[in-house]
Chains A and B, each alone.
Chain A
Amino acid sequence: MKTLTRLALAAAIGLAGSAATAEGIYTPNLSYRTGPFAATGIPIMNGQADYMTMLNARDGGIGGAMIDFEECETGYSTEKGVECYERTKAEAVVTQPWSTGITLQVLPKTNVDMIPILAPGYGFSPMANGKVFQWAFNPPASYWDAASMIMQYIADGDMESLKGKKIVLLHLDHPFGKEPLPVLEAMAEAYDFELVPIPVGLKEMQNQSAQWLQIRRERPDNVVMWGWGAMNAGAITEAVKTKFPMENFIGVWWAGHDEDLKQVGQDGKGYKSISWSMPQPDAPLMADIKEYVVDAGLSQQEDLNSVFYQRGLVISMMLAEAIRAAQEMHGVTEITAAQLRDGLENLNITAERLEELGMTGMVPPFSTSCSNHTGHSGAWMLEWDGEKFVQASDLLAADASFITPLEEEKAAEYAEANAPWPVNESCE
C-alpha cells in the first residue's frame, strides 16, 4: 500500500512539475529526495510540503491566496539545481536552492532576475549582509553562527580556554563543508587553538576509515562535523568503531538527523548537534498537521517528531510569514517576487507570534532587517540520548563582534570579485 502511495505521489509530483502555472502563489522548492543526500532531504522536504498543505487546507492559503508549492528534484546536484532554477524562475516568487553549491551558482543570477533566495540555515554566510546581498536570505542563523556557537559551547563560554587545544573539522569536501573554514581559521588564530581540517570526499562518505584513522593519530580534544546526507551516518559509525568519546563530537545542524543516529543507537549516546530548531511533539501546530495533512493521507512522513521533519515545518513557516508580511506591506493578495523580498526583509518572529502559530519552542524568536538578512536567532545544543535528540543547553548566541566584521569583509570581497555588483547604500 505504501508503495502504491509512493507511486501515486510520484505521479502527482510529475504532473505538478508539468503544470508550473497552477493557481496561487508559486513557491518552488529545489528539493533532493533522491541520491546520496536523500536521507537528509526527505524529512525536511516532507516538513516543508506538509506545512504549506496544512495552510491551504486549514486557512485557504495565506491572506486569501493559495500556495502553489512545487518541488523540482535536484538530487543535490549543482547542475540540476541550476536547471531547476532556470525552469521555475519565470513564475516563482522565491527560490529555495537547498545546497550551498547551488546557492553560490544562482546567487549572481537572482540579482538580475530579481528573485529572492531563501536558504534557511545554509548557503554563503555573508549573505547576512543585506546591503550587499539584497536578494539573498539565510534566516534564522548562518554557518558562521553555528561555528561560533559550537566553539563557545566547547569553551564553556570562556574562549581563552581554547588555547592549546586541538580541534578537528571533519567536513564534506564540497562548498557546504568548506563554509565554516574562514571563521574557524580566524578563531584558531585569535584564540590560539590548532584547527585540523579533514575532508571527506563524496565517494568516501560511507567509508571514512582513513579519516578516522587520521583523527585517532591527531588525538584531538574535539571533532566538529560539517556533514550532510550519507556522510553523517558514515562518520558516526566510524566514531563508535574507533571508540572516539561521543561527548566530544559535535555536528552542525544538518548532522543531527535521528535516522543517522539510529544506525548506532545507544553507542551514539552523548553525540551533539547544534540546532536552531527543536522538536515539540505537543505543539498545537502538530495537532493541525495531523488533522489536516496526516489524517487526510497527504503526508509522506512517518515520524512527525524527528528533528528534520519539524525543521522543515519551521522553514515553511518562515516563508509563509514573509508572504504574509509582503501582503500586509503592499496591500495585495497575489504578491510578486520583489514584494516577497520586502517580506523576507521584515520578518518579525516574536515569542508572541510563535505562540499564535502554535510553534512555541520550535525555533528561537528572531527578526530580519534591511542590513540583517539572517536574523542570528541563536541555537540550542541537542544531544542524542540513545533513542532521540534532547535539549542539552540553553539558547546559545553567536559572537556577533567576531562574525559581523568577517561578514562585511567577505561580502565586500564578493562584490568586488563580481563587479559591477549592486549595493544598497540606503541600508543602515
Chain B
Amino acid sequence: MELLNEIFVAPFADMVAAPDFLLQVLWEGLVSGVLYALIALGFVLIFRSSRILNFAQGIMVVFAALTMVGLHEKGVPAWIAVALTLVVMFGLAVAIERAVLRPLVGQPDIILFMATIGITLFLIGAGEIIFGGENKVMITEELGIPTGDTVLEPWGGLLILQHGDITVVLVAAALVLALLLFLGKTRMGRAIRALGDDHQAALSVGISLQTIWVLVWFIAGIIALVTGIAWGSRAGVSFALEVIAYKALPVLMLGGLESISGAIIGGLMIGMLEKLFEIYWGGPLLGGNTESWFAYVLALLVLLFRPQGLFGEKIIERV
C-alpha cells in the first residue's frame, strides 16, 4: 500500500506542494532536451542522406569544441576561432567523404557504420595528441554568452533561470529553424531530402552524392560546434563530452532515425521526462541515477508499439 502511495500519490502531491520546484525541474529538462535534440539532429541529417548511423557525432562535438578553445588559447580572438573551427569542420567533412565514404559507396550499411566507429577512434586519438586530455575552460564570456541568472519567485517559491541556458535554448531554436528553412526552401536542402527519400531516383536526376555528403557532414559539424559550446559552457570541454552523444540514441529510437521533427520532439520529451522521473520517482524509490537508463526504457516501450519510432516512416515491404 505504501509503495502504491509512493508511486501514484506522493510524487503528484510533491508537485502540487512545490510548483516552483516543478517548474525548475521542467526548465532543466527542457534545456537538457534541447541539447539532446541538437545532437540527434546531427545523426538524423546524416542518416537521411546516406543511411549511415554516424557513431562519430559525439566525438565531433568534442573535436569542434576543443579546436575552438585550442585556437583561442593560441591567441586567436574568439569569433575568429569560431570561424576557423568551421573551416576545420568543413575540411573534416571533405576528408571523411574522400577518404572514408567514397571508397565505401555501395557497401552494406553496417560497413559504413563500422567506418564511423573508425572515424571516432581516429578523432579521439588525434584530439588527445593535439589538444591533450585536460579539461579546458569554455570561452563563454569571450563569445558573448551571458553568465548571470534571473531569479523569479513564482507562488512565493524560487525559480533560477541561467542566462546561459536561455541563450542555449534560443540559439538551438534558431539553428533548428534555419535548418528547417534550408531543407525546405533551398535547392541543396531539397537535394538532401530527395536523397533521403530515394537514393537511386535522386542520383538519376543528377544530384551529386559527393557534394551532398560533404554538405551534411559539414552541417553535422556546425551542429557539433554549437552543441560543444553549449555543453562546454556548463562544465568545461573535455573528452567526457563524448558520452553525452549516447544520450541521443534513445532520442533517435523514440523520434525515428529519419525525422527532424522526431529528433526535436523526442529530445525534448526525453529531456523533460527523465528529469521528472529521476526527481519524483527514481531518486526516492530506486536510489537515483535513473537518467542513465530511463530514456532507453522509454524508447523501448515506444518501439513495442511503433517499431519505426514516433515519427519515423512506416516500412512497408512487398514480399
Please list the residues of chain A having a beta carbon within 8 angstroms of any beta carbon in chain B.
3, 6-7, 10, 33-39, 41-43, 173, 197-211, 213-214, 216-217, 229-230, 233-234, 237-238, 241-243, 259-260, 262-263
Contact = CB atoms under 8 A, between A and B. Distances in A.
B279 A217 contact: yes
Interface string B199-234: 000000000000000000000000000000001001
A230 B135 contact: yes
Contacts of A242: 160
A211 B288 contact: yes
Contacts of B238: 36, 38-39, 230, 233
Interface in B142-157: 149
- The 9 A-B residue pairs whose C-beta atoms are closest, nearest first, are A38-B133, A230-B240, A36-B240, A201-B292, A39-B135, A234-B235, A199-B289, A209-B28, A210-B278
Interface string B267-308: 000000011001100010001110110000000000000000
B239 A243 contact: no
Contacts of B239: 34-36, 38
Contact of A197 (B137, B243, B287): B287
Interface in B226-275: 231, 234-236, 238-244, 246-247, 274-275
12 contacts: A34-B239, A37-B240, A41-B133, A199-B287, A203-B244, A203-B246, A213-B25, A217-B21, A237-B236, A238-B235, A262-B137, A263-B235
Given A201-B289, A206-B234, A39 B279 contact: no
Contacts of B246: 203
B11 to A, nearest CB: 12
Interface in B14-52: 18, 21, 24-25, 28, 31-32
Contact of B291 (A7, A33, A201): A201
B133 A42 contact: yes
Contacts of A34: 124, 128, 133, 239
A207 B283 CA distance: 16
Contact-residue size bin, chain B (C-beta under 8 Å from the other chain): 35 or more
Contacts of A201: 289, 291-292
Contact of B292 (A7, A204, A217): A204
Interface string B101-135: 00000000000000000000000100011101111
Contacts of B231: 206-207
B24 A263 contact: no
A36 B241 CA distance: 8
Contacts of B244: 203, 206-207
A319 B185 CA distance: 67
A225 B32 CA distance: 23
B279 A259 contact: no
Given A36-B238, A207-B234, A237-B234, A6 B279 contact: no
B235 A230 contact: yes
Contacts of B278: 210, 214
A210 B132 contact: no
Contacts of A243: 160
A28 to B, nearest CB: 20
A236 to B, nearest CB: 8
Contacts of B24: 213, 216
Contact of B133 (A33, A233, A234): A33
A174 to B, nearest CB: 11
Interface in B140-175: 149, 160, 162
B129 A6 contact: yes
Contacts of A204: 289, 291-292
A260 B162 CA distance: 20
B224 to A, nearest CB: 15
B121 to A, nearest CB: 11
Given A38-B239, A241-B162, A210 B279 contact: yes
Contacts of A7: 129
B163 to A, nearest CB: 11
A260 B135 contact: yes
Given A35-B239, A38-B239, A230-B235, A241 B160 contact: yes
A37 B32 CA distance: 22
A306 to B, nearest CB: 11
Given A206-B235, A230-B135, A198 B288 contact: yes
A199 to B, nearest CB: 4
B134 A214 contact: no
B21 A206 contact: no
B15 to A, nearest CB: 12
A301 to B, nearest CB: 11
